[in-house]
Amino acid sequence: GQNIDQPTEMTATEGAIVQINCTYQTSGFNGLFWYQQHAGEAPTFLSYNVLDGLEEKGRFSSFLSRSKGYSYLLLKELQMKDSASYLCAVRDEQGGKLIFGQGTELSVKP
């Protein structure tokens, strides 16, 4: 079966660092995506990993270990505007379909 797990909620402090974990078990794998979604809005693309290792993009980094079925999104220097839901999604090998986790609701406190 297809299964993607993320924590439901996380809280962090402005200026701090937070790591959001994602574990997956899927029948195929053709890349892992992280999206950010503010309440009532569309998901927006943050990062993409298809090979093992760390991808850095400004304050955001994403890590992938394919052998462990594990990824994390690291957010540095947290800002209030980072309060949002973060979605982990695995793309399957056929058709490019995305399988989403349920999302992690991040609250950034002053």
Q: Which residues lie near other proteins (CB under 8 A)?
A: 8, 31, 33, 35, 40-45, 48, 50, 87, 89, 95-103
How far is Cα 31 from Cα 39, in angstroms, rounded to an integer? Answer: 26
| Residue spans of alpha helices (H) in the chain | none
Sort strands 70-75 and 60-65 into parallel, antiparallel or unpaired. antiparallel
Q: Which is nearer to other proteins, 50 or 80 (CB)?
A: 50
Q: Which is nearer to other proteins, 41 or 52 (CB)?
A: 41
Please report how close the Cβ of residue 51 comes to other proteins at its closest, in angstroms.
Answer: 10
Please report how close the Cβ of residue 101 comes to other proteins at its closest, in angstroms.
Answer: 6
